[in-house]
Structure 1
Amino acid sequence: MAKLQLPDAILVDKYISGDENCLAILVKRHQSKIYGYIYSKVLDRDVTEDIFQDTFYKVIYTLKQKKYYNEEGKFLSWVLRIASNLIIDKFRSDKKMPLNRDTDDFSVFSKITDSSRNIENILIKEQVNIDLKVLIEKLPHDQKEVVMMRYFLEMSFKEIADLTGVSVNTTLGRMRYAMTNLRKLIEKNNIYLPS
């Protein structure tokens, strides 16, 4: 029973030293927060389950490697950062699929009947999204991370700051630099952004 009361950092150390039960305690201690965080971003129970499991596969792998783990006193923040990266990866792969497939379930041409939008607007919007994703990939990692979390995962600046382990001011600064850099890249690449 005494093990259940131990702080996260000690449980992590004990797990790294070979006590497998310590990870089970950590998972049980934080699973509702981690699961809830993932679900709040993806809004799908099956996807949440997958990402939750993948998160702990990555946690286990990283802790077993010992040299790659740098907790800085915040196990939960570290795990949420891993989950956030997996959510971003999932979002990227899901968002690419509709742009590359033309099936009965999803067809650009099925949108023609929508009187509020025409095919030209759809194609322009898709091309702009493709162009922006390419440009975002060219940003430095910390700026790209903030843009992805803010605009694609719709996270608040405070949530981003907590997950990345920096202050809100640093997060805002990274976003400002990212927007400046994106504007420069848009001009340099002659990308048209409809208003």
Structure 2
Amino acid sequence: MQKQKLDDSVLVKNYINGSERSLEILVGRHKQKIYSFIYSKVLDRDIAEDIFQDAFIKVIKTLKLGNYNEEGKFLPWVMRISHNLVIDHFRKSNRMPSFKNTEEFDIFSVLSDSSLNAEKEIIKNQIHFDVRRIIEELPEDQKEVLIMRIYRDMSFKEISENTGVSINTALGRMRYALINLRKIIEKNKIVLTN
């Protein structure tokens, strides 16, 4: 029980020094967060499990080779490894949706990541088609609020004035639009990796 309270950095050091139990504790401590992250990208339990296993095989190899120097930032390091393995998975299976940008629609105004690196830029250029298609599946009133809020950068007050509904109604429509988008994405197993 004592080991449960140890910092990740101590557990990593103990594992490098031969304590297999320390790795078990680390995996147990972070499995849910890492697995959930992977699953949220691939939406397939078997693939998520495979990628999770691969991530920890990579972690073990790196630790055994003595190449780990994250200074106590174990979880972000494993998340980066997992993220890279998810990208590799999609590259291998060529299942990333392709898309083009239009002036009217740009999902990346939502992501607001000003420092897109080359890898993210490639992925960015492959998402738009599915985003546009799933937004078209929303009920008209929800689609209208979502487009005004996200793509035209209007405040809920402005949306309320433009649509003739109360701010609370506009907020409610936006909330339902986001809930419905998630359902459509899950139902169609669409992957929106950022």
Query: TM tier, shorter chain?
Result: 0.5 to 0.7
Match of 2:50 in 1: 50
Query: Any gaps of 5 or more consecutive residues in structure 2?
Result: 101-115, 129-194
The aligned amino acid for 1:69 is Y
- TM-score, normalised on structure 2? 0.52
Question: Is 2:117 aligned against 1:143?
Answer: yes
The aligned amino acid for 2:49 is E
1:73 partner SS: coil
The aligned amino acid for 1:8 is D
Match of 2:92 in 1: 93
Query: Partners of 1:72 and 1:150 in 2: how far apart?
Result: 31
Match of 1:76 in 2: 75
Matching of residues 120-131 of structure 1 within 5 Å: none
Query: Partners of 2:55 and 2:123 in 1: how far apart?
Result: 17
Q: Which has the higher contact order (CA 8 A, sep 6+)?
A: 2
Query: Any gaps of 5 or more consecutive residues in structure 1?
Result: 98-124, 129-141, 155-195
- TM-score, normalised on structure 1? 0.52
Task: Rate the CA distance shift 1:47–1:146 in 2: closer, same or farther, 3 A.
Answer: same
Per mean C-alpha deviation after superposition, the further-off stretch among 72-81 and 29-38 is: 72-81
Task: Rate the CA distance shift 1:153–1:53 in 2: closer, same or farther, 3 A.
Answer: farther
The aligned amino acid for 1:53 is Q
The aligned amino acid for 2:117 is Q
Task: State the identity %.
Answer: 54
**Root mean square deviation of aligned Cα:** 2.8
Query: Partners of 1:27 and 1:147 in 2: how far apart?
Result: 32
1:71 partner SS: coil
Matching of residues 4-15 of structure 1 within 5 Å: 4-15=4-15
Task: Rate the CA distance shift 1:55–1:29 in 2: closer, same or farther, 3 A.
Answer: same
Query: Partners of 1:152 and 1:81 in 2: how far apart?
Result: 21
| Greater fraction of residues in helix | 1
The aligned amino acid for 1:5 is K
Question: Is 2:24 aligned against 1:24?
Answer: yes
Task: Rate the CA distance shift 1:38–1:29 in 2: closer, same or farther, 3 A.
Answer: same
Contact 1:88 1:153 (C-alpha < 8 Å) held by counterparts: no
Match of 2:65 in 1: 65
